[in-house]
Amino acid sequence: MSSDPADWKRLYPFASNYFELEPSVRMHYVDQRPKLDHATSQLADDASLDAKPCIVAVHGNPTWSFYYRSIVQEFSGTHRVLAIDHVGCGLSDKPQRYDYSLARHTENLVRWIDALELDRIVMLVHDWGGAIGLGAAIQRIDRIAGLVVLNTGAFPPPYVPLRIAACRLPILGSFAMRYLNAFALAATRMAIDRLDRLDASVQAGLLAPYDTPANRVGIDAFVRDIPLSDRHRTYRVLKDLERDLPKLSHLPIQLVWGMKDWCFRPECLRRFQGVWPQAISNELIDVGHYVMEEAPQEVVKVLGKLLV
């Protein structure tokens, strides 16, 4: 039986934290860690916790940190777990005039990592979070302990699905995404395969931050940042990222792929396998794009292997 959509907040009972990027632009993030040990009255942020890897989860479009709620719940009893919301997404600020670009999102993530002095990071990435997170990992490679990569790309798109290309139609594309909620709402139905449908509370949670046309500015901007030609400013950023991916080859890497994804199809997985032949691949034959919604326990199991 489907639950009440209003229940979504019970699925996301985490305290909010904000990182100020500019005077009027804050980036929201979750930062959960083991609670107070009442037996010893010691907080679990001592040297023993600092010695453990921390998890940094980086979402894509049109999701937000809610997408990683199962990771936070599963691991925050033993490890520090952080999940960000990109500017324009989730509970972060959504300025109507902003440089919504891959380069800026990557810069924001690097600044946040530096400000929080994060180290021994096991980075979990998905969708646009792949390009953003992997770009940041390359810039702070000495702080990365491992990677878990879900359906994503970190290279100029080898193809653009018609469903995405339609969202790039002049005027009509932005109108549909912002005023009809066509992109985020459609994703809750078109990004799954194993499940017949998402639970009502899960769908409500995924959509909650994107409840007005103004609040969908980041969704629209992410779609418009997909380079359809080598003249687009993000084409070169992705090309440089692809060139630098081998710099991460020494890390333990787990690839977890929903093989029914129509957006980041299996050929994207093959591209990563070619760059990182040592990476361990986990092919989920009946899972679509929203891997964390359809196969959370599979991801938990894989991620746990990198936290030892």
168 neighbors 229 (Cβ within 8 angstroms): no
Question: How large is the average pLDDT for residues 103-120?
Answer: 98
262 neighbors 161 (Cβ within 8 angstroms): yes
What ranges in 180-263 are assigned the alpha helix state H?
Answer: 182-190, 200-207, 217-224, 233-244
What are 202-232's pLDDT values in tens digits?
999 999 999 999 999 999 999 999 999 999 9
**Is it the case that residue 37 has pLDDT exceeding 60?**
no
Is the previous residue joined to 62 through a cis bond, with omega within 30 degrees of 0? yes
CA distance 107 to 139: 9
Residue 41: per-residue pLDDT: 46
Whole-model pTM: value is: 0.94
Q: pLDDT-based confidence at 6, cuts 50/70/90?
A: confident
CA distance 54 to 231: 38
4 neighbors 203 (Cβ within 8 angstroms): no
Q: pLDDT-based confidence at 47, cuts 50/70/90?
A: low
Question: How large is the average pLDDT for residues 170-184?
Answer: 95
Residue 2: per-residue pLDDT: 58
CA distance 167 to 162: 9
Question: How large is the average pLDDT for residues 22-31?
Answer: 96
- Look at residues 277, 307, 266, 273 and name the one whose alpha carbon lies nearest to residue 123: 307
Residue 1: per-residue pLDDT: 45
**Is it the case that residue 150 has pLDDT exceeding 50?**
yes
Sign of CA dihedral 203, 208, 212, 213: negative
Residue 46: per-residue pLDDT: 57
